[in-house]
Amino acid sequence: MASSNKSAELFARAQNVLPGGVSRNTIFRLPHPLYADFAKGCYITDIDGIARLDFANNMASLIHGHAHPVVTQAIIEQVQKGSAYTLGTELEVQYAELLCDRVPSFERLRFVNSGTEAVMAMIKTARAFTQKAKIAKVEGAYHGAYDYAEVSQTAKPTNWGKEDCPNAVPVAVGTPEGALDDVIIIPYNDPESALKILDQHKHEIAGILLDPVSHRVGMVPATNDFVEALYSWSRQYNALLMFDEVITFRAAYGGAQASYAVKPDLTALGKMIGGGFPVGAIAGRKEVMEVLNPMQKAVPLPHSGTFSANPVTMIAGLTSMQLFDEEAVKTLNQLGDYTRSEITNLIMNKGIKACVTGAGSMFRIHLKEVAPNNYRQTFADPIEATALKRLVKALEEQKIIMINTGSGMLSSVMDKNSIDVLINALSLVFDLILNEYPSLKRSPDHA
Ligand SMILES: Cc1ncc(COP(=O)(O)O)c(C=O)c1O
């Protein structure tokens, strides 16, 4: 008999071979994950034949949606010439030239295979250059799975300590104590407290790691004051400023860093620059990146990677970034402004305790009356957390795929009609949430 729910059946099989039935927790959901059959443009069709409008875009990595014809054609042509060689290619040179032309702080660049790897290589580059071991990072920020980069990413009220002096909290059981000791946690957008904390470790810090619009910290841009304070401190104490632009590179033609007067020494990239394939990169000041140069007698940071700069990723990324030119970035960011303003209007009309944050083509819905400004304010209380889960699930039932934090990432194949589809679905979903969670009704004075 034909199955009416192939995804449920596949999940049952998957649990026999994959822990929890998944290869990455991102896609895990109950009663079962969704399994893709095919995707085109801004829609994904699952193996049960249901098509959904995709605002997750593989966790912000698909800037042109799925199977863009120009990117697809370029990949096919490359694959026929081979997919990986123990030789360099002109493609990696051409792609590095394009990225370096685009961003003033990129004087040298090296490709790797994921955002996690890019952040790891960036931290190791900073250590090798400064000959110091510690790093500082913002509480709650996600930078991938390197032991050091993930410290305090999941801190919670029971273990996060004082607001102006947060604890270094491990994510994984068994994280070495040494990793915790070597990561200094600073609060977001609070230059005064951050500098006080940094001052206690002035001679030990190799670099300060910052995502300028961190998703987990609330998707609120870092203030100029905050970035400039960190930059000035780093100049004073021979430390580097390291930006994680794995997601935020989409925010402007030259990345989110284009909005600040000061420039990072190093930047980690990933996601969108792979054109739909696994990728990462570190880029930055020539003098700093020189620690990777194998032409030295004693290389301070020997670095390789079997699939780094593989030609399939290179052609997909290069073609995607050529298409994501200044005009395309501007158009997509205008759609981002439209999305955030339409969601805000809907929130006001419905009288729900919610708000939307974001920048460029990124947005995040919070079930909070006032927009958060840091990780602790973003952290959802138990009611908000369950209501948000419900919101994401209800949107899925309305044939909209979101990132499970209530965030969305636009792609260049979307237009105002796509946003109107989202708003219509969200209107029904807000009604449902207000019905199930009456405490989320705005009081009349704030309506
Ligand atoms: C800001 C940021 N940095 C690093 C990473 C890690 O990237 P990857 O999943 O490619 O390892 C992510 C992934 O979501 C990210 O959002």
Q: Residue 446: what pLDDT?
A: 54
Return the SS3 of 38. strand
- Expressed in angstroms and rounded, the spacing between residue 242 Cα and the centre of ligand 1 is 15
Average pLDDT over residues 394-418: 98
pLDDT digits (tens, 9 = 90+) for 118-159: 999 999 999 999 999 999 999 999 999 999 999 999 999 999
Q: Is the pLDDT of residue 1 over 60?
A: no
pLDDT digits (tens, 9 = 90+) for 306-326: 999 999 999 999 999 999 999
Measured from the CB, is residue 244 less than 6 Å from ligand 1? yes
Confidence of residue 408 (pLDDT cuts 50, 70, 90): very high
Ligand 1 atom closest to Cα of residue 271: 10
Measured from the CB, is residue 129 less than 6 Å from ligand 1? no
pLDDT digits (tens, 9 = 90+) for 215-227: 999 999 999 999 9
Measured from the CB, is residue 144 less than 6 Å from ligand 1? yes
Measured from the CB, is residue 277 less than 6 Å from ligand 1? no
Phi, psi of 215 (to 5 degrees): -60, -55
Q: Residue 2: what pLDDT?
A: 42
Which region holds residue 67: left if phi is over 0, alpha if psi is between -120 and 50, else beta? left
| Mean pLDDT of the chain, nearest integer | 97
DSSP 210-258: E-TT-TTTTS-PPPHHHHHHHHHHHHHTT-EEEEE-TTGGGGSTT-GGG
* Minimum CA distance residue for ligand 1 atom 16: 247
Q: Residue 229: what pLDDT?
A: 98
Measured from the CB, is residue 248 less than 6 Å from ligand 1? no
Q: Residue 4: what pLDDT?
A: 59
Q: Residue 444: what pLDDT?
A: 74
Measured from the CB, is residue 246 less than 6 Å from ligand 1? yes
Q: Which of 271, 277, 403 to mutate to test the pocket of ligand 1 (most atoms within 8 A of CB)?
A: 271
* Minimum CA distance residue for ligand 1 atom 13: 144
* Minimum CA distance residue for ligand 1 atom 8: 115
Q: Which of 23, 24, 57, 116 to mutate to test the pocket of ligand 1 (most atoms within 8 A of CB)?
A: 116
Q: Is the pTM of this model over 0.95?
A: yes
Phi, psi of 441 (to 5 degrees): -80, 130
Measured from the CB, is residue 409 less than 6 Å from ligand 1? no
Measured from the CB, is residue 270 less than 6 Å from ligand 1? yes
Confidence of residue 68 (pLDDT cuts 50, 70, 90): very high
Measured from the CB, is residue 182 less than 6 Å from ligand 1? no
Residue 443: both structure tokens together: 């009081």
- Expressed in angstroms and rounded, the spacing between residue 298 Cα and the centre of ligand 1 is 31
**What residues are paired with 168 via a beta bridge?**
none
Ligand 1 atom closest to Cα of residue 144: 6
Q: Can you tell me the distance from the alpha carbon of 209 to that of 235, in angstroms, rounded to the nearest whole number?
A: 14
* Minimum CA distance residue for ligand 1 atom 4: 143
Ligand 1 atom closest to Cα of residue 115: 7
Q: Residue 443: what pLDDT?
A: 85
Measured from the CB, is residue 105 less than 6 Å from ligand 1? no
Q: Is the pLDDT of residue 447 over 70?
A: no
pLDDT digits (tens, 9 = 90+) for 248-276: 999 999 999 999 999 999 999 999 999 99
- Expressed in angstroms and rounded, the spacing between residue 431 Cα and the centre of ligand 1 is 33
Ligand 1 atom closest to Cα of residue 280: 10
Measured from the CB, is residue 59 less than 6 Å from ligand 1? yes
Measured from the CB, is residue 115 less than 6 Å from ligand 1? yes
Dihedral sign for Cα atoms in the order 23, 24, 25, 30? negative
Q: Residue 3: what pLDDT?
A: 46
- Expressed in angstroms and rounded, the spacing between residue 267 Cα and the centre of ligand 1 is 13
- Amino acid identity of 428? L
- Expressed in angstroms and rounded, the spacing between residue 344 Cα and the centre of ligand 1 is 28
- Expressed in angstroms and rounded, the spacing between residue 246 Cα and the centre of ligand 1 is 6
Q: Which residue reads 């102006």 in tokens? A: 164
Average pLDDT over residues 279-284: 98
Measured from the CB, is residue 250 less than 6 Å from ligand 1? no
- Expressed in angstroms and rounded, the spacing between residue 388 Cα and the centre of ligand 1 is 22
Q: Can you tell me the distance from the alpha carbon of 159 to that of 65, in angstroms, rounded to the nearest whole number?
A: 39
Q: Can you tell me the distance from the alpha carbon of 336 to that of 341, in angstroms, rounded to the nearest whole number?
A: 9
Ligand 1 atom closest to Cα of residue 214: 1
Residues ≥6 apart with Cβ < 8 Å to 18 = none
